[in-house]
Structure 1
C-alpha cells in the first residue's frame, strides 16, 4: 500500500484527531481567498460605461508611474489625471482602423437647486461617444448655451429656451438651455449627470486648454476593438487604451480611486490574514501530531524509518489541506462579497462596484494553504521522526520539559524584531510608523508562541500557587497544568493572539484618529474655512473676493494631492507615497502651525518643500538639500527642503507652495481657503460677510474652525472603520481558531477524564478541576495578551500623544478580554461536559 493509502486510512480512522487541522485550513483558505478576490477586484473591477458606451476604444494617459529599475506598484491610476495633448489626439486619429478620434473634456460642475448625483461638464463634440441624441432643442451654438441630460433638466425644472445657473470652480454663470439629450440606447445615466457646452467653452471651463482628459475612438466598419486598442498603444507611446467595461475607468473618477483603496486595504489585510492563517495552521497541526505521540512511538519501535514518518505526516497534511482548500474557495467568495458590502456601506467604495471572482485567488489560496500545511507538518514531524523509539515511549507518557535550542533562539530573535517594530513610532511619527504597532503584535506573538511552554510553565508555577491550597480540584488543576505545559501553551496561544492582536489594532485606530483631530485643533490657526462645495475648486477671483472681506488678515489656499519618492529598500528601488498639500505661502504660520522642528516655514516659496521631520530623517534628507520626487500626475521635480515639521497626521506629510502643483492636479483650483481674522477684528462680521458671499456663489461652504476640526475627526473615524472592517475578517478567523484549538485539545483528554472518575473523583469534582484549569488558562492568556500590547501601544501613544495611554475607551479592552475569556471557558467546558456523559469504563477504552 502506498503512503497516501496509509494516510487516507489514518484520516478515516482518526477523524477527530484531524478535525482541528481541517477547520484551521478550511477557514484559512476562506480568509486568504477572500483577500485575493478583493485584490483582483482592485486591479480589474469596472462598471458599465455610460457616456463612453458608443466608443469602441477610449484612450487615456499612462497612469502608472515608472522609475529606473522597474514599474511602480500596481495597475492603479495615479491620484491626478495624466492628460493628453492635442498632438496625441491627431496621432490617435491616424492609426489604421480609427474612423474618428474625439477629444474629451470633463470637469466638475454644480447646478444650484438640482439634487442630482455627481455632475460633470463636457464638450458637445464628445456627445457622440455616448452616443447622445437630442430629444428636444438643438446643440449648443454659443458660449452661453448648454445641453442638459434629462435628470438634470427634471431636477432643476429647466426647459428648452429657459435659463439655468451652472457653477464651475465656485463661479456661477447663466446659460440658455439649448437642448436636452439622452443616451441613444435609452439606458440613462445612473452614476453621474452630464452637461454639454460648445467645445471651446468646455475647453475653457476645464481649466486645461490644449489638453484632453481622454480621447474617444469611433472605429471604422469591421475593425476589432481589442486589436485597434493594441495598435493605438503601440503607435502612440504614453497612452493606455481601454475597451469593454474597462472604459468606465476613464469615465468615472471614483472607480480608479475606489479600486486603489480596495487594493490597498485588501493587500494590507490579505498579507496579515495569510500570516495569521499560517500561525494558526502550524499550531493546530502541531497539536494534532503531539496528540499522537504514542502512535508514532509504536511506529518507530516496529522499524519505521524517520523518512517514513515524515512521508506519513506530510501525506496526511497534504490530503487534509487539499480537501479543506477546495471546500474553502467558494465560501471565500461569499466573505469577499460581505466585505465589499461593508466597505460600500461605509462609503469607501461605490455601491455598484462589483467583485471580480476569477480562478487566480482561489488557486493562490489553495497553494498557500497546502504549502503552509506541508511546512507545518514538516516541523511537527521532526521530533517524532528523529527521536529514539525508547525515548518516544517515555515522552508519550510524560511530555519533555525542555525546548530545542533552535526554537528558543528563533523565539528570542522574533521577540527582538517585534520590540524594534513596536518602537518604530518613536522614530517615524507618521502612518508608516503607526503601522509598526500591528506588525509588532504579530511578530511578537509568534516569538512568544515558540517560547510558549517555557513561559507558560513559569507563569503556572506562580499563578497556580493559591490553587495548590485546595484539597482536590484546585490542586489537581495546578498539577495538571504544570505537568502539561505544552498542552497548556497550545491552548493559551490562540487566546493570547486574540487578545493581543485585537487590542493592539483597535487601539491603534482609535489613537491615530485622535491624533489627527488633536493636531488639527492645535495647529489650525484659521477662524473660518471656505470650501468649493464640489464645483471643482475655488477660482482665483473667488479667492480674491474672500481676501477682500474686511478684517480678513490672510486666506491660505489649500490643494490636496500625493507625491512619490524613490527609496532603496534592501538594495531594491521602490516608491514611497506621501500625502501632499499645496498652499499659498503668504503668512502661512497665521493659518497653519505645522509644528516646525527644523528650518523656517517662511522660506516656503518657489520650488521648495517642507515635510514631516522623522520621514525626512529616515530618507536622509536635510534642510537645505534638494529632494527629488514625483508629483501626483507622475511629473518628476526637484525641490529644496526648507523646513521639517511634526503635525503630519493633521496637515499632510509634505507641504509645497501652490505654484508647484499648478498644472499637475486634476482640479486646477484649490479646494479650500483657510481664513484668519486680523487681531482685534470683528469675527462675527467676517463670518456674516463670508456667508453673504456664499449666497452669491451658491456652491461655497463656510464653516468655523470647530466645524473643520469635526470634519477631520469624522474623516479619521471613517478611515478607522474601513480598517476595522478589514480586521473583522481576521478577528473572526482568530475567534474560530480559538474555539477550534480549545475544543480539539480538550476533547482529546476524554480518557484522562474517565481515569479521574475511575479512581474515585465525582463528576462534579472533574468539572471543577477543569473549570480551575480553564480559569488558569484564561488568566495566563489575559496576562500575556495584555503584556504583548503594552510596548507597541505605549510607544505609539508616547510618540503621538505624549503619554503612555492610548486614546479610546477602556471598555474596548474590557470587551475584548471578556469575549476571549468567554470563548476560552465555553470552548473548554463544553467538550468536558460532553465527554463526561459516557460511562468511565467505556471512555477509558476509547482509542487515542
Structure 2
C-alpha cells in the first residue's frame, strides 16, 4: 500500500494540490499560534533593576480560586492580576534571617509623570509610565552612575540617560515630577545607564529613600532583592527563603524569573496572549477540519473510477483506506514541514498587530523553540488522516460488482445515517434557539448558546450538504433555465451533481456564517456600549490626560464655584468565581471607582434593583451582566479579589443596566484607587450647575496646573470605547485569519472541482458547444454556488446573532452595518467566482481532442 500510495501522489499531483495548500496554510497558522502560546507561557524579559540580585521576592501576580466542575469535582484555577501586588515591609526581617542571605534591599516604587521646566510632559519609553524608585535599590540592578552624583539632599533626582535625553536635561537642570498632586520641582543631580550601554526597557528615576517616602506617599514596596553570602547558590538561597516565608501570596524568583518580577506588563500580557493564541488556534483547527473534509471529499469523488477499478480487481476496503491514509499522512507531513517556516513569518506579523493595539508591549519578545513546529506538524498529519478516513468511508464500502456502475453516475441519495445525524443536529439547534429566546436566560448563558448554535448549524449543513444543494437547485434552476442554453446546461449539471455542488457550497457557508457571527456580534456589542455611554454620562465637561489625571484635581474641581457635582473616575479589574452553564469559572471583570455622591448627577447607571446611594467603602454595585455571571443580587455578599490581589467582601447594594457602557462593578473611588498601580484617575467628570458663567475658563485654568491634562466639553465616545474597540479588533483578527484560510481553500476547492471537468468540457465542445457557451455555463453555475453559499451562510448567522443581540440589548435586532455585510458577501463571491472561472479559462485553451483523452 505504501508503494501504491506514493505512486498515486507522484502521478496525481494536481489532485492533491488543493489538500496540500489547505494543510500548508493550517500548519502555518497553527505553528504561529503555538509560538504565541509558548511565548505567553514563558513570557519574560531580562532583568535590569534586579540583575545584580541573586533572589527576588515579589508578590504573586495571580490569584488562585477553588472552583467546582459540572460533576462536582473541585479544581483550582489561577487568574492573572493586572495591578502590582504590594509587599509588607515587615517581611524584610524574616528574609534577612535566612541562612545564606548576606543582605536584603527593599525596592520601593511608584508610577510618576515627568514634566520639563517649560511644562512639556515627558512620556516614558515606548509610551509606558515612568517609574520612580529609591536610590538604595540601585545596588540590586545593572545600572551605574555615569554623570553627576547620587541624590544626597531633598529635592534631588537621578534620571536614566535615555529619559534625560528626551527631556533635554542635564545634571543641574530642573525637572518636575507629578504623581497625586501638582508637579514638584527637582534638581537633576546625576544620570544613570545600564552597564552594557543599552537603553533601559522602562524609563526610571531615582530619589533618595527618605525623599521618596515624603514626596510619593503612595509608593509601596514592590520587591525585596536578596544578595547571597559567598558560597551560597541562588537556588539554595531561594529554597531557604520560600521555607522561611511560607506565604502563598509571595513569589520567589531567580534567573530569568527576576525579569518577570520586574516587568509586570510582560507578565500580564503573556497571560492574555495564551488565551488569544488558544482561541485563534482552536478556531483555525475547527475550520481546518470542515474545509479539509470538503476538499478531501471532492478529491475522493474525483477518484471514483480509480477506486472502483481497484475494488473490481479484488482490493479490499481496508487496503484502500490504508492507501488513502498513507497518501494523507505523506501530504500532511510535507505540508506541515513546509508550513512551519511560513508560520515563523506570520507570527511576527501577528505580534506587531497585537502590539499596535496594546495587547502586548511593543518590545514583547517571542520564544521560538522546536516544540510548536513539532506540534503543528503532528496536528496537521492527524487532521489530514481524520479528514481522508471519514471522507473515503462511503467510497470503500461499495461491492466490487457494483463498483464500476456506481462510479459512472453520482449516487443521488443521502445515506440514512447521514440524514438522521443532520436532522438531529437541526432539531438540537432549534431547541437551543428556542431556549434562548423564550426562557429568561442570563447574559453569559445566551452568549454560550449563540457560540454553540453557529457551530451546530454549520455542522448540520456540512452533513446535509447534498440536500442543501438540491434545494438550492430547485429554487434557482427554473431561473437559470430562462437564460438560454448556457443556463439550461448549468441547471442540468447542478441538478445531476448535487454532491459536487455541496462540496463547493460548504466552504462558502462556513466563511460567511462564521465571519458574520463574530463580526456582527462585535458591532452589536459596540453599538449597545455607545448607546449606554451617551445615555448614562451626564457630565458637561471631562478632564483627561494620556498618562492619567492626578486625583487631587477632582477634589479641587469639586469645590469650585458653578460645579454641581464632580468625580474622579478610576478603572481596574477584579477577579471572582462565576458560573457558566452549570460549572464554576474564574472571571475577570471591569471595575470603576467613583465618588458615590456623583451617582445620579454625573453618571446614570440606570439602577434596576437597590439604591446606588448606599455605595460605600464596604459595598459594591454590579451590572446585570455581572449579576447573572456571579449569581448575585441585592443584599448578597460579593467575594472578589481586587486588581492587586486584595480580597474584598462587600454587600451588593444595587444592580444596574448600563454595564456595557461603563463597567461590570462600581466601587468607592478612594478604595479602588488605593489598589491600583498608577494611583491616578482615568478622567474627571464634571456636571455644572444650571447657571455657571465662566466655569469652562476656570476648569481650563485648573487643568493647566497639571501638564498634559486637557478639558473636553461632553463625551468622547471613541476614547471611552478604546478598550472595547481593541478587544473587538482582536476578534476581527481571529476572523481575518480564519477567513483568509477559508478563502484560499474555497478557491482551491472550486478550482479542483472545475479542473476535474476537462473531459466534460472537451465533450461539450466536440458536440458543437462553443467556448463562450461553456464559459457562460460555468458563470451560471458559479451564480448558483455563490447565491447558495452566501444565502445559507447568512441565514445560519441570523440565529446566533439574534441571541447575542438579546443578551446585550434585549432587542432581537443585531447591529449589521450594510458595508460590513457587503464586504463579507462580496469578497466571498469574488473568491468563489475566481476559483471557478480562472481554471475554466485555462481548460478552454486546451484542444478538445487532447483534453478528451487526458488522464483522469
Give the TM-score taking structure 2 as reference length. 0.91
- The aligned residue for residue 87 of structure 2 is 84
The 10-residue stretch of structure 1 (561-570 or 12-21) with the greater mean CA deviation from structure 2: 561-570
Counterpart check, 1:786 vs 2:799: no
The 10-residue stretch of structure 1 (622-631 or 459-468) with the greater mean CA deviation from structure 2: 622-631
Q: What is the aligned counterpart of 1:103 among 91, 102, 106?
A: 106
Going from structure 1 to structure 2, the CA distance change for 1:199 and 1:71 (only over 3 Å counts) comes to farther
Q: Is the 8 A contact 2:32 2:344 kept in 1?
A: yes
SS of 1:148's equivalent?
Answer: strand
Q: Is the 8 A contact 2:56 2:261 kept in 1?
A: yes
* 1:361-380 correspondence runs (5 A): 361-380=372-391
- The aligned residue for residue 70 of structure 2 is none
- The aligned residue for residue 607 of structure 1 is 618
- The aligned residue for residue 32 of structure 1 is 30
Counterpart check, 1:199 vs 2:203: no
The 10-residue stretch of structure 1 (468-477 or 823-832) with the greater mean CA deviation from structure 2: 468-477
Deviation at 1:244, TM superposition (A): 4.4
Deviation at 1:384, TM superposition (A): 2.2
Deviation at 1:89, TM superposition (A): 2.8
The 10-residue stretch of structure 1 (819-828 or 613-622) with the greater mean CA deviation from structure 2: 613-622
Q: Is the 8 A contact 1:425 1:799 kept in 2?
A: no
Counterpart check, 1:454 vs 2:482: no
Going from structure 1 to structure 2, the CA distance change for 1:206 and 1:776 (only over 3 Å counts) comes to same
Alpha-carbon distance in structure 1 between the residues aligned to 2:680 and 2:434:
40
Deviation at 1:157, TM superposition (A): 4.7
Q: What is the aligned counterpart of 1:575 among 561, 586, 598?
A: 586
Alpha-carbon distance in structure 1 between the residues aligned to 2:426 and 2:212:
61
Alpha-carbon distance in structure 2 between the residues aligned to 1:477 and 1:418:
33
- The aligned residue for residue 538 of structure 1 is 550
* 1:300-699 correspondence runs (5 A): 300-415=311-426, 440-470=453-483, 472-531=485-544, 533-534=546-547, 538-539=550-551, 541-568=552-579, 573-658=584-669, 660-661=671-672, 663-668=674-679, 670-678=681-689, 680-682=690-692, 685-699=694-708
SS of 1:770's equivalent?
Answer: helix
Alpha-carbon distance in structure 1 between the residues aligned to 2:620 and 2:418:
49
* 1:645-794 correspondence runs (5 A): 645-658=656-669, 660-661=671-672, 663-668=674-679, 670-678=681-689, 680-682=690-692, 685-707=694-716, 709-794=717-802
Deviation at 1:435, TM superposition (A): 7.5
Q: Please give the per-residue CA displacement for 1:370-389, whole angstroms capped at 9, x wherever unaligned.
A: 22222222211221232333
Q: What is the aligned counterpart of 1:842 among 826, 830, 850?
A: 850
The 10-residue stretch of structure 1 (108-117 or 199-208) with the greater mean CA deviation from structure 2: 199-208
- The aligned residue for residue 64 of structure 2 is 66
Going from structure 1 to structure 2, the CA distance change for 1:637 and 1:345 (only over 3 Å counts) comes to closer
Q: Is the 8 A contact 1:105 1:214 kept in 2?
A: yes
| Count of paired positions | 838
Deviation at 1:580, TM superposition (A): 1.4
- The aligned residue for residue 827 of structure 1 is 835
Deviation at 1:8, TM superposition (A): 1.8
The 10-residue stretch of structure 1 (737-746 or 431-440) with the greater mean CA deviation from structure 2: 431-440
Alpha-carbon distance in structure 2 between the residues aligned to 1:269 and 1:150:
41
Deviation at 1:277, TM superposition (A): 1.4
Q: What is the aligned counterpart of 2:270 among 259, 262, 277?
A: 259
- The aligned residue for residue 71 of structure 2 is none
Counterpart check, 1:21 vs 2:33: no
- The aligned residue for residue 53 of structure 1 is 51
The 10-residue stretch of structure 1 (799-808 or 394-403) with the greater mean CA deviation from structure 2: 799-808
Going from structure 1 to structure 2, the CA distance change for 1:710 and 1:188 (only over 3 Å counts) comes to closer
Give the TM-score taking structure 1 as reference length. 0.92
Deviation at 1:636, TM superposition (A): 3.2
Going from structure 1 to structure 2, the CA distance change for 1:143 and 1:419 (only over 3 Å counts) comes to farther
Q: Please give the per-residue CA displacement for 1:634-667, whole angstroms capped at 9, x wherever unaligned.
A: 3333322222222112111122233553643323
Counterpart check, 1:44 vs 2:42: yes
Alpha-carbon distance in structure 1 between the residues aligned to 2:343 and 2:239:
35
* 1:190-339 correspondence runs (5 A): 191-204=201-214, 207=217, 211-221=220-230, 223-225=232-234, 228-229=237-238, 231-236=240-245, 237-238=247-248, 239-339=250-350
CA RMSD, 1 decimal: 2.9
SS of 2:205's equivalent?
Answer: strand
SS of 2:712's equivalent?
Answer: strand
Deviation at 1:257, TM superposition (A): 3.5
Alpha-carbon distance in structure 1 between the residues aligned to 2:445 and 2:579:
16
Alpha-carbon distance in structure 2 between the residues aligned to 1:130 and 1:279:
53
Going from structure 1 to structure 2, the CA distance change for 1:231 and 1:733 (only over 3 Å counts) comes to farther
SS of 1:337's equivalent?
Answer: helix
Deviation at 1:465, TM superposition (A): 0.5
Going from structure 1 to structure 2, the CA distance change for 1:813 and 1:627 (only over 3 Å counts) comes to same
Q: Is the 8 A contact 2:148 2:171 kept in 1?
A: yes
Alpha-carbon distance in structure 2 between the residues aligned to 1:569 and 1:712:
28
Q: List alignment gaps of at least 5 residues for structure 1.
A: none
Going from structure 1 to structure 2, the CA distance change for 1:459 and 1:557 (only over 3 Å counts) comes to same
Q: Is the 8 A contact 2:325 2:388 kept in 1?
A: yes
Q: Please give the per-residue CA displacement for 1:708-731, whole angstroms capped at 9, x wherever unaligned.
A: x33114444343334323432222
Going from structure 1 to structure 2, the CA distance change for 1:150 and 1:662 (only over 3 Å counts) comes to closer
Alpha-carbon distance in structure 2 between the residues aligned to 1:760 and 1:702:
78
Deviation at 1:166, TM superposition (A): 1.2
Q: Is the 8 A contact 1:170 1:700 kept in 2?
A: no
Alpha-carbon distance in structure 2 between the residues aligned to 1:525 and 1:422:
38
Alpha-carbon distance in structure 1 between the residues aligned to 2:210 and 2:170:
24
SS of 1:46's equivalent?
Answer: coil
Going from structure 1 to structure 2, the CA distance change for 1:168 and 1:567 (only over 3 Å counts) comes to closer
The 10-residue stretch of structure 1 (298-307 or 542-551) with the greater mean CA deviation from structure 2: 298-307
Alpha-carbon distance in structure 2 between the residues aligned to 1:248 and 1:228:
18
Going from structure 1 to structure 2, the CA distance change for 1:130 and 1:446 (only over 3 Å counts) comes to same
Deviation at 1:200, TM superposition (A): 3.0
Going from structure 1 to structure 2, the CA distance change for 1:503 and 1:5 (only over 3 Å counts) comes to same
Q: What is the aligned counterpart of 1:128 among 127, 139, 143?
A: 139
Going from structure 1 to structure 2, the CA distance change for 1:430 and 1:186 (only over 3 Å counts) comes to farther
Q: Is the 8 A contact 2:526 2:724 kept in 1?
A: yes
